[in-house]
Copies of this chain bind each other. A is one copy, B any other.
Amino acid sequence: MPTMNDVARLAGVSRGTVSNYINGVQVKLESQQRIQAAITELNYVPNSTARELKLNRSNFVVFILPTTRTPFFAELTQEIQQMLKQKNYKMLLCTSQNDIAEELEYIQMAKEQKVAGILTISYSDLGKYLTNDVPIVSIENHLSKTIPCVSSDNYAGGCMAAKQLLEKGAKNLLILTRSTEKTAVNYGQRAQGFIDYCQHKQVDYTVFDSPYHEDRFYPQLQTFLMNTYQKACPFDGIFAVSDQYADFSYTILRQLGHAVPQSVQLIGFDGGKMYPEQKYFLSSIRQPVKKIAEQCVSRLEELLWNKENDVKKTTILPIEFVQGETTKK
C-alpha cells in the first residue's frame, strides 16, 4: 500500500507539504497539482486516523439508544444516520437495552475515541455522570440543565388524542399508561395532556396506570382489559401512551369480539410503521422523526462551534394526528 512518503517522492515535494495538503493547510498551486496527480497515480488512501490525531477530534458521533427494534427507534436511527452523513459525520451505533451500565460504557468509549459528540436517548439518571468534555445532546429526556434536549411535544400530543376521540364521538374515555421514574418525561406528559384536556372539557375519564416494568405491565394490562371489556364496551375511546400498548390492546379487543373503531376507538403514540410504504393501521399521534434528527444534529453542531451558553437548551417539536383504521373517519 502506498505511503505518504511515496506520494512525496513521486510529486517531488517534501513529506510535510503532502501532509499539509491532506490536512487542508494551504500549499502552492503547483504543489497541489503535483500531489493530487501522485495521489491518483498511486491510488493513495490518506489515513483518517492520523488526520484525526492531528486535529485531536474525530468526526464520529456516538448514538446511544435503548434498541433499534421498534418502528420509531428504527426510523429515528436511519434519519439521524443520514443527517450525520450529510454533515460529514459517521455514526457509531450503540444500543443500551435501557441499561445504565451499558450507557456509561459507551460514554467512556466516546471519550477515548475523542468523538465529535454524543446523541443519546436515555431514560436513566445519566446526567450526574456526565462531564462537559464531550458535547452531548439528549433526545426526549432532560439529562441536566446544561445538556440541550430535543423532544416531541408530548403534552400537546396527549391533549390532541383526547380532542380527536371526543370529536369523533367517543363519550367514555380510557387512558392506558405506565408511570415509572423512567417514563415520567414521555408517558407522564402524554397522560397529563390527555387528563388536562378532559378536565378542561369537563369530560369523565378513567386511568389505567401501572408502576411496573413491562414484564409485569403487560400481564396486568391484559387482565384489566379482559375484565373490563368481557361483555360490553364501557369505554368507547382509548388513548394508549405508545403504539406498542395500543397494538397490544387492539389484539385483546379483537379477541373479545369488539369492533374497532365502530364500538371502541383507539389512538396510540409514535406513528411508526412496520415498513415505510405501509398505510397507517393504528390511528396515532405521530412524532416528527425527521425534525428530531435535524434538530439534535443542529444542537450538536452548535455545541461544537459556539460557546455553550448560546445553545438552546430545550427544543420542543410539534406532533400531528395520523388517521389509521382504529378511529372513525
| A residues whose Cβ falls under 8 Å from a Cβ of B | 1, 45-50, 52-53, 58, 60, 63, 67-71, 73-75, 77-78, 81-82, 90-95, 108-109, 111-114, 133, 214, 218, 244, 247-248, 251, 272, 274-279
- Determine which of B60, B77, B247, B279 lies in contact with A275 in the assembled complex, contact meaning CB atoms within 8 Å: B247
Q: What's the number of copies of this chain in the assembled complex?
A: 2
Closest CB in chain B relative to A243 CB, distance in Å: 8
Q: From A77, which residue of chain B is reached at the shortest CB distance? A: B68
Alpha-carbon separation in the docked complex, A281 to B244 (Å): 14
B70 touches A78 (CB 8 A): no
Alpha-carbon separation in the docked complex, A120 to B112 (Å): 27
Q: From A57, which residue of chain B is reached at the shortest CB distance? A: B49
Q: From A105, which residue of chain B is reached at the shortest CB distance? A: B85
A69 touches B58 (CB 8 A): no
A275 touches B48 (CB 8 A): no
Closest CB in chain B relative to A178 CB, distance in Å: 13
Q: From A90, which residue of chain B is reached at the shortest CB distance? A: B92
A277 touches B214 (CB 8 A): yes
Given contacts A53-B53, A69-B275, A247-B275, 14 further A-B contacts (CB under 8 A): A47-B112, A48-B109, A68-B77, A68-B78, A68-B81, A69-B75, A70-B275, A74-B74, A77-B93, A81-B94, A90-B92, A244-B275, A244-B278, A251-B279
A92 touches B95 (CB 8 A): no
- Determine which of B93, B113, B248 lies in contact with A93 in the assembled complex, contact meaning CB atoms within 8 Å: B93
Closest CB in chain B relative to A62 CB, distance in Å: 9
Asked, given contacts A53-B50, A93-B81, A95-B82, whether A71 binds B114 with beta carbons under 8 Å apart, the answer is: no
Determine the chain B residues whose CB is within 8 A of the CB of A58 once the complex forms: 49
In the complex, the 3 A-B pairs of residues with the closest C-beta atoms, listed nearest first:
A74-B74, A93-B93, A48-B112
A114 touches B47 (CB 8 A): yes
A247 touches B218 (CB 8 A): no
B69 touches A78 (CB 8 A): yes
A277 touches B218 (CB 8 A): yes
Alpha-carbon separation in the docked complex, A160 to B128 (Å): 54
Determine the chain B residues whose CB is within 8 A of the CB of A113 once the complex forms: 48-49, 90
Closest CB in chain B relative to A290 CB, distance in Å: 13
Alpha-carbon separation in the docked complex, A38 to B1 (Å): 39
- Determine which of B45, B63, B73, B278 lies in contact with A112 in the assembled complex, contact meaning CB atoms within 8 Å: B45
Determine the chain B residues whose CB is within 8 A of the CB of A90 once the complex forms: 92, 94, 109, 113
Among A58, A133, A275, chain B packs the most CB atoms within 10 A around the CB of: A275
Alpha-carbon separation in the docked complex, A60 to B59 (Å): 13
Determine the chain B residues whose CB is within 8 A of the CB of A214 once the complex forms: 277
Alpha-carbon separation in the docked complex, A109 to B248 (Å): 42
- Determine which of B78, B114, B251 lies in contact with A67 in the assembled complex, contact meaning CB atoms within 8 Å: B78
Q: Could you pull out 7 A-B pairs where Cβ atoms are within 8 angstroms? A: A47-B114, A50-B53, A69-B75, A91-B93, A92-B93, A244-B274, A244-B275
Determine the chain B residues whose CB is within 8 A of the CB of A77 once the complex forms: 68, 77, 93
